[in-house]
């Protein structure tokens, strides 16, 4: 599973790094974010890229897991 840790970055960095990671067309991707805006943007990007998305809240933000549909 490909992991993108963008905690501590403000937009648009989380979105850009997630988008870059998707260029390799991974079957599964995990994105770690710590802001609501980054969470919303990453979820929308993954859904638009044909991933099934699950979001879990963690003590330091959110873990977003995308699996190819």
CATH number of the CATH domain containing 13: 3.30.110.40
For 26, the domain range is: 2-68
Give the largest Cα separation in the chain, rounded.
Answer: 29
The percent of residues in the chain predicted with pLDDT above 70, rounded, is: 100
pTM as predicted: 0.95
The residue-averaged pLDDT of 10-18 equals: 95
Residues 51-69 have pLDDT tens digits of 999 999 999 999 999 999 8
Q: What is the DSSP string of 21-69?
A: HHTT--SEEEEEE-SHHHHHHHHHHHHHTTEEEEEEEETTEEEEEEEE-
Residue 22 CB contacts under 8 Å (≥ 6 apart), including other chains: 29, 45, 46, 49
Count how many domains the chain has.
Answer: 1
Instruction: State the pLDDT at residue 69.
Output: 81
Query: In this structure, what are the phi and psi dihedrals at residue 10, rounded to the nearest 5 degrees?
Result: -100, 160
């Amino acid at each position: 599973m490909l992991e993108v840790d963008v905690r501590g970055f403000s937009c648009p960095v989380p979105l850009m790094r997630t988008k870059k990671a998707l260029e390799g067309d991974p079957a599964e991707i995990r994105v770690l974010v710590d802001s609501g805006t980054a969470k919303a943007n990453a979820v929308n990007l993954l859904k638009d890229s044909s991933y099934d998305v699950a979001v879990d809240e963690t003590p330091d933000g959110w873990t977003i897991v995308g699996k190819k549909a």
